[in-house]
């Protein structure tokens, strides 16, 4: 059984075995003060009141929105990245009362509708089509809204393992390094948080979610001096080299972010779901000196 909270001790173990990153003992006061303040912007407010199926779709497709050429960033109107895709999903699903049938039988057609009227370039389109098809089959077998209600009062890990079993291609973001199996599971952690925040799901042990490690949170911690890459890795970040998914360097950055966040959570008392949201918002607002790491993956 995968236990999401084990990512913290496993990350600590992994970082004892690699020397690609170090963790500062100190939390910058500037960052602590910022995180103790509610963000002014609410980029997700337009998704309030939407169904669990909407969040299953947007979180499953929430990956790899960066582009080496920033002029080709995926956009829909004034929106970009995952928020832009979310608005397209919100519009397109209204057309299909039997969404499971559409996704299971014509995921490519659904994907084309999501891209209609957008600009820029979306990476890994074929992977997204497969994910849509897998979700369609899942929805034919499962009343997802009812499922969300049925899991109320159960543990985060009960729900996580159910979703990992049913949709492994979508959610099994688990990296094996020298026998250390690290369940990063970024999209799965995000889905659980969104179902709680927007759909009334109520799971036990929500602190087991930790943060949801992607490319932006390591960047924030690097720019605040909490996460310190080795000089050659730092140069790769500055040169915008692509790091392979599951490589030692890439895993070290994500594991380092987990440990940095745990120090902040312990110091401030901010819950992990709130902390992840604030880190994400502030990572998008900052003017970084070091670019985020680039990884091509269907997991983030």
Neighbours of 156 (CB within 10 A): 23
Task: Indicate the burial class of 165 (C-beta count within 10 angstroms; 0-12, 13-18, 19 or more).
Answer: exposed
Please write the tens of the pLDDT for every residue from 149-204.
999 999 999 999 999 999 999 999 999 998 899 999 999 999 999 999 999 999 99
Mean pLDDT score across all residues of the chain: 96
Q: Which pLDDT value is given to residue 227?
A: 98
Residue indicated by tokens 């179902």:
195
Residue 241 is given by DSSP the state P
Cα gap 69→208, rounded to integer Å: 37
Residue indicated by tokens 């299953």:
56
Best CA proximity match to 56, nearest among 215, 163, 203, 140: 163
The percentage of the chain sitting over the pLDDT mark of 90, rounded to a whole number, equals 94
How is residue 55 written in tokens? 């969040």
Q: Which pLDDT value is given to residue 44?
A: 84
Cα gap 258→51, rounded to integer Å: 29
Q: Phi then psi for 28, rounded to 5 degrees?
A: -55, 130
Cα gap 223→290, rounded to integer Å: 6
Residue 236 has pLDDT above 80, yes or no: yes
Cα gap 109→290, rounded to integer Å: 39
What are the residue boundaries of the structural domains of the chain, listed by start?
Answer: 4-285
Cα gap 150→159, rounded to integer Å: 10
């Amino acid at each position: 059984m995968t236990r999401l909270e084990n990512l913290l001790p496993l990350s600590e173990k992994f970082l004892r075995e690699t020397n690609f990153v170090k963790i500062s003992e100190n939390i910058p006061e500037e960052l602590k003060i910022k995180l103790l303040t509610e963000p002014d912007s609410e980029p997700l407010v337009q998704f309030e009141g939407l169904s669990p199926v909407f969040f299953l779709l947007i979180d499953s497709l929430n990956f790899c929105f960066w582009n080496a050429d920033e002029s080709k960033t995926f956009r829909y109107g004034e929106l970009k990245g995952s928020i832009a895709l979310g608005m397209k999903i919100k519009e397109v699903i209204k057309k299909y009362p039997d969404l499971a049938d559409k996704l299971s039988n014509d995921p490519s057609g659904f994907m084309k509708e999501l891209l209609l009227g957008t600009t820029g370039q979306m990476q890994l389109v074929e992977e997204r089509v497969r994910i849509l098809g897998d979700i369609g089959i899942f929805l034919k077998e499962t009343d997802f809204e009812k499922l969300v209600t049925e899991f109320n009062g159960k543990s985060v890990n009960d729900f996580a393992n159910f979703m990992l079993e049913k949709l492994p291609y979508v959610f099994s973001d688990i990296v094996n390094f020298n026998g250390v199996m690290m369940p990063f599971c970024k999209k799965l952690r995000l889905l659980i948080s969104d179902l709680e925040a927007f759909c009334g799901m109520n799971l036990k042990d929500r602190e087991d979610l930790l943060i949801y490690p992607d490319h932006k949170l390591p960047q924030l911690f690097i720019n605040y001096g909490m996460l310190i890459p080795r000089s050659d890795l730092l140069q790769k970040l500055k040169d915008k080299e692509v790091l392979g998914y599951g490589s030692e360097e890439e895993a070290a950055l994500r594991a380092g972010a987990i440990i940095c966040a745990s120090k902040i959570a312990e110091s401030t008392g901010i819950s992990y779901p709130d902390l992840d949201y604030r880190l994400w918002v502030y990572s998008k607002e900052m003017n970084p000196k070091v670019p985020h790491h680039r990884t091509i993956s269907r997991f983030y």
